[in-house]
Structure 1
Amino acid sequence: MPRKSALVIGLDPYVLDAFRASDHDLVVVYGTAVKDFAFYPVPDDVPTVLVDDQRSLESVLMGLHRAGLADRAYDVVMTSDEFALVTASALGQHFGARSVPLDVAVNFRDKSVQKSIVTAAGVPTAAHLCVPDVLDLPDDFALPFTPAVLKPVGGAATSLTTVVRTTDDIRALSAEYLRTGVPTRSFLVEAFSEGEEWFADGVLIDGTVAFVALGRYLRTCLDTVQENLPLQLVELDPVTDKDAYDTALPVVQRALTALGLRSGPFHMELFADREVGRVVFGECAARRGGVLTRDAVLAKFGVDLALAGVQALAGEIPDVQTTRDPAVIGSTFLPCLPGVLADHPSATEIARLPGVLYAQIELPRGYPMPHSLSNAVAKLGQVLLTADTHEELLARMADVTAWVADRTRALPTDLPPRLLRRDDTEPRWSRTVPLPA
């Protein structure tokens, strides 16, 4: 039988390895922004197509035509790029290949559409209202919920997400966005959800959740950005956190059914009130969770979400054999220092610290790091940790974050040259770094 062929949008090494393991020939399309950041290596053993914007259907199609790869028979089209999901779906429809159906992709990209669908299906979620143009609010606009959250309908990573309490708050943001030239115009206002923020990562096969792993953010993504702290996550255990799984899984299945996804990976966020045993739908993506989700789930359950997700979307039946590590598994971001990155410990050095399963440094020396977080995924790097107890995990997160911060140096960008020249042998390094409370 001829080998199957896959078109992959973006450089996700886990997805590329999964397609290789599933015996697919690959064509990889990636954008110039991915090339210039250069964190993931460009594969040298598969055809690749460089395009201006991997999230643009026009850009991707033109690139495929230039490369003479637009008339190939593709069996599946896939992306891990949240913003390229609709493009990958349209390409799947164009090539007659398996992919997330186009209307389903829209359900997963537009938070206003998504909230309306799950609400109509009776899935508990926050009350919401779409603001078509946040830069041009009607004269009679009034905040329908208080407190509320304002965020882009097609956003991700908590970017441009703000808590608002009055109509004047939204009008002030509207004026600020107009002044600063924010290109995003369509926003969602939703009632503020209390409680812990959970996430569910899993795989659907023919409309049924074949595997799901629950976890929680130690602080909500919104608090993380507003307080300028590193994002920290912990996997929930199906034995010690059985009540969480029992409460969340019905909500997860009902939401996915309502949104129309049949096969492939998903990443869902939920808000939970453990005292009353209530879980509320937050939002959902038709892709694998980012950051170190794949590695954390593999360590905790022995399931490769990338491989299972690829096989499910490609129409194969993944062999999801789960194990359970009773240890507490979690991850922490390594926060940025304000200034130009001058030095940092290596990932190999970090990996030698107690409890560290995996570490990666993502920014090169010379990189201008932000003074404050604009989204929940800004970071110097990430570390995956294990511990015997939840308390020990928190302590190890604090220890590794402090250890890295103490050995990371950044040259300030807010000092005049005379101060930077004061002592050439001992530059005035910034040592201010946000640490978890």
Structure 2
Amino acid sequence: MTTRVLYLGWWSDAADVLARHGCEAAFVVPAAEREAPARHGFTGPVVVVPEVTRLDDVVAGLIRDGVDPRGFDVICSEHEECIVPAAVLAAAYGRAGLTMDTAVALRDKMVQKRLVRNAGLPVAGCRTVHALDEPGVVPPFVVKPLSGVSTQHTYVVRGQEALERVTAVLAASGRQGPWLVEEYMTGGEMHADGVVRDGRLLFLGLSRYLQNLIEIQDGGLVGSVTVDPGAHPGLYRQVRELASAALKALGHTDGVFHMELFDQGDRLAFSECAGRIGGGMVLETTAAKFGVDLYDEWARAVLGRPSAIGRDRRYDTRAHGWVHLIARPGRVRAMPAADDVRDRPCVTDVQMRVGPGDTVQDSATASNARAATVSVAGETEDGLAGEMRALARWFRDRVHVEAPA
């Protein structure tokens, strides 16, 4: 029988993989993306609502368009900000989907860190506050939204001057809080991307960020290089143990995940975990390095179908990675074309984000702000990281922008 799927948000990869699995899918999309499904060639039902992250908008839109959620087998989303609304909708209408407890644990950072800490894993100490001048809030610390994305509105406060500046920035943002204030964690940041089924970790791929993500505020690069399992078996063993325990604590027993952690030398510390595929070009580098299609595995978990990960799966011994190419903020007057970037050493694929005439977002505002993203491959992890930094410098120097007024 055909499986009917109601998906909150729009993601072309999700539409494609559900079609490959023979599903009949319907999408609830925000008004800002109402034309995206048709541009992609999707011809199924589309419900347009003001904001797909607001549950009242979604429910009203479905009723308004005569779409009954009870007519679907699964209600889901791979879009991070829609995971909780999809879980609530699935529970309300008795459809298959993430449980509400798990969905909240994968989104709310305070809930997530409490569960992981209670499981005995190293994690930053944290608390919620309504203002940074509350008693006991003493630098250094990191402040962020409870359920933010892409390090938006996330700041390191190291002293009194930074405290005053960040307080003003948060007030100007219009966000009311509460905010999460957490211990500043040392160590190099890594991300683990994988698949869990029936509570068992089926696959895990590990990568090191070029720089800790919080460093984008000081001009840092967002990108990562894969860690080879054969060259680092001890590290993989430690990460697998931490990831398995963290996923169990969060109740995430079936699906994909993107987990961040800190390598502090004498231990690994948990940072955050999302129940989705990692951003950047994690999807592409995972396929190239490890031979695993994370979108296919996401769909299989959502649909309750067996994983396609084989026991005899082999991986590429070369290093793979991806990096966001950034430019100074402003309107683009001239920049390298995709073919120019593709001709650079080690580059395997290019995704252009902007072109001449477009406006470049300030890369210090979010970890997903970029002019382009590239995937790369090389013989060694350190050598590839060096090539990625050189590529980023080459690109930035060749993008000419008109500074914003």
Fold conserved (TM > 0.5)?
yes
Q: Which amino acid aligns with 1:11?
A: W
Q: For residues 24-423 of structure 1, what are the structure 2 equivalents within 5 Å? A: 24-35=23-34, 41-71=39-69, 73-131=71-129, 133-134=130-131, 137-138=133-134, 141-143=135-137, 146-166=139-159, 169-170=162-163, 173-178=166-171, 180-223=172-215, 225-274=216-265, 276=266, 278-321=267-310, 322-371=313-362, 373-414=364-405
Q: Using the TM superposition, give the Cα deviation of residue 166 of structure 1 relative to its aligned residue in structure 2, in angstroms.
A: 4.7
Unmatched tracts of structure 1, length 5 or more = 415-437
Asked whether the 8 Å contact 1:218–1:232 carries over to 2, the reply is yes
* Letter in structure 2 aligned against 1:303: V
**Larger displacement relative to structure 2 (335-344 or 63-72):** 63-72
CA distance in 2, matches of 1:388, 1:39: 39
Matched residues, percent identical?
A: 30
Sort the Cα spacing of 1:40 and 1:308 in 2 relative to 1 into closer, same or farther, 3 A: farther
> CA offsets per residue over residues 57-83 of structure 1, 9 Å max, x none?
111222222332225521222222211
> Quick check: 2:223–2:280 contact (8 Å CA) kept in 1?
no
The offset of 1:169, in angstroms, is 5.0
Amino acid at match of 1:116: R
Is the 8 Å Cα contact of residues 341 and 347 (structure 2) preserved in structure 1?
A: yes
Shift of 1:176: 4.1
1:342-379 per-residue CA deviation (whole Å, 9 max, x = no partner) reads 33333244223332111111124332223451111110
CA contact (8 A) 2:211 2:220 kept: no
CA drift of 1:85 comes to: 1.2
Distance 1:362 1:168 in 2: 35
Structure 2 CA distance, aligned partners of 1:43 and 1:184?
40
Give the 3-state SS of the residue equivalent to 2:18 in structure 1.
Answer: helix
Q: 1:423 corresponds to which residue?
A: none
- CA displacement at 1:118 relative to structure 2: 1.0
CA gap 1:407/1:39 in 2 versus in 1, 3 angstroms: farther
DSSP-derived class of the 1:109 partner: coil
Q: Give the conservation status (yes or no) of the 8 Å contact 1:268–1:282.
A: yes
Tell me by how many angstroms 1:170 deviates: 4.1
Whether the 8 Å contact between 1:152 and 1:184 is mirrored in structure 2 is no
Change (3 A) 1:172 1:413: closer
Match of 1:434 in 2: none
Aligned Cα RMSD in Å? 2.2
| Structure 1 residue 232, shift from structure 2 partner | 1.7
CA gap of 1:158–1:205, structure 2 versus 1, over 3 A, is same
Residue 401 of structure 1: how far off its partner (Å): 2.4
What is the alpha-carbon distance in structure 2 between the residues aligned to residue 349 and residue 61 of structure 1? Answer: 47
**In structure 1, C-alpha distance between the alignment counterparts of 2:239 and 2:47, rounded to whole Å:** 41
Taking a change above 3 Å as real, the CA distance of residues 220 and 34 of structure 1, as seen in their structure-2 partners, is farther
Shift of 1:287: 1.2
Name the SS for the 1:119 alignment partner: helix
Q: Structure 1 stretch 212-221 or stretch 397-406: which is displaced more?
A: 397-406
Structure 1: how far apart are the matches of 2:334 and 2:165? 39
Query: Displacement of 1:313 after TM fit?
Result: 2.3
Which whole-Å CA distance do the structure 1 matches of 2:263 and 2:203 have between them? 20
Q: CA deviation at 1:115?
A: 0.9
The 10-residue stretch of structure 1 (229-238 or 263-272) with the greater mean CA deviation from structure 2: 229-238
Contact residue 358 and residue 383 of structure 1 kept, 8 A: yes
User: Alpha-carbon deviation of 1:127?
Assistant: 1.3
Instruction: Establish whether residue 4 from structure 1 lines up as the match of residue 6 from structure 2.
Output: no
Gaps of 5+ in 2: none
For the Cα contact (< 8 Å) 2:6–2:76, is it kept in 1? yes
Taking structure 1 as the reference length, what is the TM-score of the superposition? 0.86
Task: Give the Cα separation in 2 of the matches to 1:323 and 1:262.
Answer: 25
The whole-number CA distance in structure 2 between the counterparts of 1:408 and 1:327 is 30
- Give the total of aligned pairs: 403
Change (3 A) 1:169 1:197: same
Q: 1:342 to 1:168 in 2, by over 3 A?
A: closer
- 1:43 CA displacement: 3.5
1:13 and 1:84 map into 2 onto residues whose CA distance is 15
Q: 1:168 to 1:401 in 2, by over 3 A?
A: closer
Paired amino acid for 1:366? G
Shift of 1:86: 0.7
Residues 102 and 251, structure 2, Cα contact 8 Å, conserved in 1: yes
Q: 1:235 is matched by which residue type in structure 2? A: T
- Contact 1:142/1:167, CA 8 A, preserved across alignment: no
Which SS does the other structure have where 2:106 is aligned?
Answer: helix
Contact 1:269-1:284 at 8 Å conserved across structures: yes
Q: CA 1:343–1:167 in 2, change beyond 3 Å: closer, same or farther?
A: closer
